[in-house]
Amino acid sequence: MTTTNICETRVRRGDPTPRRFSLAYYVDGVLSGDRAAMGRTFSVMESDLPSDQVLAEQILDGVLCRTGKSRRIGISGVPGSGKSMFIDALGMYLLHERGEKVAVLSVDPSSPISCGSILGDKTRMARLSGQPSAFIRPSPSRGCLGGVARHTRECVLICEAAGYQNVLIETVGVGQSEMEVSSMTDFFLLLMIPGAGDELQGIKRGIIELVDGMVINKADGENLGAANRARGQYESALRIFAPNREGWTPSVLTCSALENRGISEVWQMILGHLAQKEAGGLLQRRRQTHALTWMQELISSGLREVFHNAPAVQQRLARLEDSVRAGVTTPLRAARELLEVYRDRIPGPQSGRPVLRCVPTSIESPSETK
Ligand SMILES: Nc1nc2c(ncn2[C@@H]2O[C@H](COP(=O)(O)OP(=O)(O)OP(=O)(O)O)[C@@H](O)[C@H]2O)c(=O)[nH]1
Ligand SMILES: [Mg+2]
């Protein structure tokens, strides 16, 4: 990549000023698997700047024809179950035993307040992070619902376009994030640990129903017996809670990420599941559903943003919130008023012109109804 490709836009958002390159730099860089270009592309994807959002869309358009060919694997489990170490072991297996490239999108349990990203995961993937055919991107979860980074889906496409055959997504085990990760992956793997009680370790039934496969990690040393007992228990639980989903009953395996045992068996289970789904056309349908879910989510979040930015809404929102907090107005009425004031001020097919239908209440000032 020559410096002549470098442009052009320097976008300001306080300090430090993010440096931006030409669209061709990002597209060509991603398609050629240039790691620096990939990292920069992720920064564009994760940026809140409107100009970056336009650029991100253009980059995705530019690489779209090379996406969709990877295996997308979600890996979840209670904190400390060994997800990072398991990914480290699985990644090394894929690299060295199968000669395939691995991208890891790691969603850190970062604080919603600091919006920071802890560096722990790279150190817990010590072997993989040093490999030229592995790409690890810990993403700040930014405190968004469920903790899954907002732009993980875009990042998956970037990794695919860059030629990574396997994209592994580690998620924090906090309920909603499992739903999100399962809605963007071909296979959802749940990691458990032995000896944490006979029950399902606080894993909710809803999550069990998402599971395509389960692995009892840390099946080593004195944990071995407990791991095998847990395996039997989880097999029974899955037969009850997730029987024969899409023609597949999730298996339960044991492994030790620490000792590198059972990793290839887990991968064979994943491949078996994917092959079965592909043959029946289910994989394609699952991805189509995921793409539509993504579109719907973008529409929802876009509408929410437009709604909250509307001056008419902003004029009323704080007062109505106070009123709801004080118990003077019901959330139902407050939401209806805000939606009405928003809808009626936007010229649309029904209204044709902005009309205010909302009846002023005691909590509104006269100026708000103008
Ligand atoms: N004995 C044993 N310990 C393991 C194994 N895998 C991971 N550990 C240990 O378990 C601890 C947690 O491992 P991580 O890989 O960080 O777990 P995690 O699920 O990614 O943790 P969070 O990202 O914080 O939720 C570490 O101390 C690991 O050394 C294993 O197979 N056997
Ligand atoms: Mg981890």
In angstroms, what is the span from residue 283 Cα to ligand 2's centroid? Answer: 27
Residues with CB under 5 A from ligand 2 (ion): 83-84
Q: Is the CB of 177 under 6 A from ligand 1?
A: no
Q: Which of 276, 256, 279, 32 is nearest to 164 (CA)?
A: 32
Residues 105/172, Cβ–Cβ less than 8 Å? no
What ligand is nearest to the CA atom of residue 121? 2
- For ligand 1, mutation pick of 88, 121, 124, 127 (most atoms within 8 Å of CB): 124
Q: What is the pLDDT of residues 131-153, one digit of tens each?
A: 999 999 876 545 444 335 568 88
Q: What is the pLDDT of residues 314-328, one digit of tens each?
A: 999 999 999 999 999
* Ligand 1 atom with the shortest distance to the CA of 79: 25
Q: What is the mean pLDDT of residues 59-68?
A: 95
- Reply yes or no on whether the pLDDT at 15 is more than 60: no
Q: Which residues contact 235 (CB under 8 A, 6 or more apart)?
A: 251, 252
Rg of the chain over all Cα atoms, to the nearest angstrom? 24
Q: Is the CB of 81 under 6 A from ligand 1?
A: yes
Give the model's pLDDT for residue 196: 59
pLDDT band at 16 (very low <50, low <70, confident <90, very high): low
Could you tell me which residue, 36 or 362, shows the higher pLDDT?
Answer: 36
| 3-class secondary structure per residue, 88-127 | HHHHHHHHHCCCCCEEEEEECCCCCCCCCCCCHHHHHCCC
- Reply yes or no on whether the pLDDT at 334 is more than 90: yes
- Reply yes or no on whether the pLDDT at 116 is more than 50: no
Could you tell me which residue, 266 or 130, shows the higher pLDDT?
Answer: 266
Choose the most confident range, by mean pLDDT, from 33-37, 136-140, 191-195, 247-251: 33-37
Q: Is the CB of 258 under 6 A from ligand 1?
A: yes
pTM: 0.81
In angstroms, what is the span from residue 82 Cα to ligand 2's centroid? Answer: 7
Q: Label residue 247 left, alpha or beta by phi (over 0 means left) and psi (-120 to 50 means alpha).
A: left
pLDDT band at 368 (very low <50, low <70, confident <90, very high): very low
Q: Is the CB of 83 under 6 A from ligand 1?
A: yes
What ligand is nearest to the CA atom of residue 106? 2
Least confident of 3-7, 50-54, 190-194, 335-339: 3-7
Give the model's pLDDT for residue 243: 64
Q: Is the CB of 84 under 6 A from ligand 1?
A: yes
**Position 173, amino acid:** G
Indicate the burial class of 315 (C-beta count within 10 angstroms; 0-12, 13-18, 19 or more): middle
Q: What is the mean pLDDT of residues 214-239?
A: 90
Q: What is the mean pLDDT of residues 324-346?
A: 91
* Residue-wise DSSP of 34-51: -HHHHHHHHHHHH---HH
- With the CA atoms of 76, 79, 81 and 82 taken in that order, what torsion angle do they form, in degrees rounded to the nearest 10? 80
Could you tell me which residue, 256 or 9, shows the higher pLDDT?
Answer: 256
Choose the most confident range, by mean pLDDT, from 88-92, 108-112, 243-247: 88-92
Query: Rounded to whole angstroms, what are the CA distances from 276 to 169, 193, 328, 341?
Result: 22, 28, 57, 51
- Reply yes or no on whether the pLDDT at 351 is more than 50: no
In angstroms, what is the span from residue 201 Cα to ligand 2's centroid? Answer: 18
Give the model's pLDDT for residue 115: 40
C-alpha to C-alpha distance for 119 and 153, rounded to whole angstroms: 21
Q: What is the mean pLDDT of residues 79-96?
A: 94
C-alpha to C-alpha distance for 270 and 168, rounded to whole angstroms: 12
C-alpha to C-alpha distance for 81 and 250, rounded to whole angstroms: 19
Angle (CA) 27-158-8 rounded to 5° is 35
Q: What tokens appear for 313 in the block? A: 């809404």
Give the model's pLDDT for residue 99: 97
* Ligand 1 atom with the shortest distance to the CA of 257: 31
C-alpha to C-alpha distance for 143 and 148, rounded to whole angstroms: 8
Q: What is the pLDDT of residues 175-226, one digit of tens each?
A: 667 778 888 999 999 999 887 555 555 566 677 778 899 999 999 999 999 9
Give nearest CA residue, ligand 1 atom 21: 80
Query: Rounded to whole angstroms, what are the CA distances from 56 to 47, 51, 72, 98?
Result: 9, 9, 21, 32
Give the model's pLDDT for residue 240: 77
C-alpha to C-alpha distance for 39 and 43, rounded to whole angstroms: 6
pLDDT band at 347 (very low <50, low <70, confident <90, very high): low
Give the model's pLDDT for residue 214: 93
Residues 283/275, Cβ–Cβ less than 8 Å? no
Give the model's pLDDT for residue 369: 35
Residues 110/140, Cβ–Cβ less than 8 Å? yes
Give the model's pLDDT for residue 200: 58
Give the model's pLDDT for residue 367: 39
Give the model's pLDDT for residue 280: 84
What ligand is nearest to the CA atom of residue 89? 1
Give the model's pLDDT for residue 191: 92
In angstroms, what is the span from residue 325 Cα to ligand 2's centroid? Answer: 38
